[in-house]
Amino acid sequence: MRPFDYQRPDTLSGAHGAARDGATFIAGGTNLIDLMKLEVMAPDTLVDISRLGLDRIEPHGDGLHVGATVTNSDLAADLRIRRDYPVLARALLAGASGQLRNKATTGGNLLQRTRCPYFYDTATPCNKRRPGSGCAAFGGEMRNHAVLGTSEHCLALHPSDMAVAMRALDATVELEGADGTRRETALDDFYRLPGDRPDRETTLSAGDLITGVILPAPFGGRQTYRKVRDRASYAFALVSVAATVRMENDLISNVALAFGGIGTRPWRDHDVEDLLTGEAPTTALFEKAGDILMKDAVLREGLEFKDTLVRRLLTATLTEMTQ
């Protein structure tokens, strides 16, 4: 067992003070503890942020502010989320068992690490775990890897269901730096593509702490989250889609689509949405949307099925929502 220090500050300034080099923030610990057990991560200090008052869901302009330590269970059960952001509630309920949702937090969910088996196996090379060591996924088992946003250094799939729904909702991440300065960043700008440094997964700087997520004014219209997986419950997505659609005079007046299971981050392609907006829903239109979505996909051996799967899921979801 690797020794580490544990601190539980009562204030944000205290948390930043404790977060020196080698320290890691911990909330629910549903992912971090597993990584520590496997020695994928070995922080010198754990800084527990569970007592910082970040566990509330409050009005924020026309939308909502969701504190970083709001649990997935509480967020999914909140009446305002269920009424105004049902795509988010559905994604959360599709994401894990009840026991995990009771511990997992909003901020932690955004930061959960990939479930790539080579990332978890310290006996294999992994650029995400140790930059420059190589990627064992090339030539290995490919079923649960990404086809969009990959590089020659990493194929790791982004695992979160919640983040996919928040990407469709145009959510914003609220951060506080080590100097106490707060800033906001769009979720699409929060995640990095792997490039040649797949270990850098987000735009967080040293000492940055997620304090919350801001949801914009309710979209209205129809919302859904559909997830295809190997078993009916508590499995990561082979392919998923978070969809919000508004119809007007039998035309698609507004649409937002974000995808899981295919990208190295929650995937959204505005060219797909531009194609659909203002058009009458038809199967041919939806198939063309699939062509645009997958035009840059790299379908390595073992991943070819995702092309067919995501196209069928997109067509089925849009057909149901525009009838």
28-43 pLDDT, tens digit per residue, is 999 999 999 999 999 9
Identify the band that residue 258 occupies on the pLDDT scale cut at 50, 70 and 90. very high
Distance CA 155, CA 164 (A): 18
Write down which residue in 48, 66, 82 finishes a domain. Answer: 48
Domain that holds residue 39: 5-48
| pLDDT digit string, tens, across residues 142-151 | 999 999 999 9
pLDDT per residue over 292-305, tens digit each? 999 999 999 999 99
CA angle 36–37–38, rounded 5-degree value? 90
Average pLDDT over residues 59-76: 98
Residue 198 lies in a domain: no
Mean pLDDT in residue range 207-228: 96
CA dist list (Å): 104 to 2, 95, 296: 24, 10, 33
- The pLDDT score that the predictor gives to residue 19 is 86
What pLDDT, on the 0 to 100 scale, is given for residue 224?
A: 98
Residue 39: inside a domain: yes
Closest CA to 201 of 158, 152, 143, 171: 158
Whether the predicted pLDDT of 317 surpasses 80: yes
168-210 confidence digits (pLDDT tens) = 999 999 999 999 999 999 999 999 999 999 999 999 998 899 9
Q: pLDDT averaged over the chain? A: 96
Mean pLDDT of 222-230: 96
Distance CA 156, CA 204 (A): 19
Q: How far apart are CA 59 and CA 302, in angstroms?
A: 46
Q: What are 50-61's pLDDT values in tens digits? A: 999 999 999 999
Instruction: Report the pLDDT value the prediction gives residue 131, as an integer from 0 to 100.
Output: 96
CATH number at 248 reads 3.30.390.50
* Domain annotation covers residue 314: yes
Residue 314 has pLDDT above 90, yes or no: yes
Torsion of CA 41, 45, 49, 50, to 10 degrees: 80
Report the pLDDT averaged over residues 117-137. Answer: 96
The reply to whether 130 falls in a domain is no
Q: What pLDDT shows up at residue 210?
A: 98
Residue 140 is assigned to a structural domain of this protein:
no
Residue 184, strand partner residues: 174
Among residues 16, 31, 48, the one where a domain terminates is 48
User: Do the domain assignments include residue 102?
Assistant: no
**Is pLDDT above 90 for 249?**
yes
Q: What is the model's pLDDT at position 20? A: 82
As a whole number, mean pLDDT of residues 274-284 equals: 98
User: In percent, how much of the chain has pLDDT > 90?
Assistant: 91
Of 118, 139, 137, residue with least CA distance to 129 = 118
Does position 234 have pLDDT exceeding 90, yes or no? Answer: no
Q: Assign 21 a pLDDT band (cuts: 50, 70, 90).
A: confident
pLDDT band at 158 (very low <50, low <70, confident <90, very high): very high
User: Residue 266 falls within a domain, yes or no?
Assistant: yes
User: What CATH number does the domain containing 30 carry?
Assistant: 3.30.43
Is 63 inside any structural domain?
Answer: no
What pLDDT, on the 0 to 100 scale, is given for residue 306?
97
Q: Cα separations (Å) of 290 from 147, 162, 174, 321? A: 14, 23, 33, 16
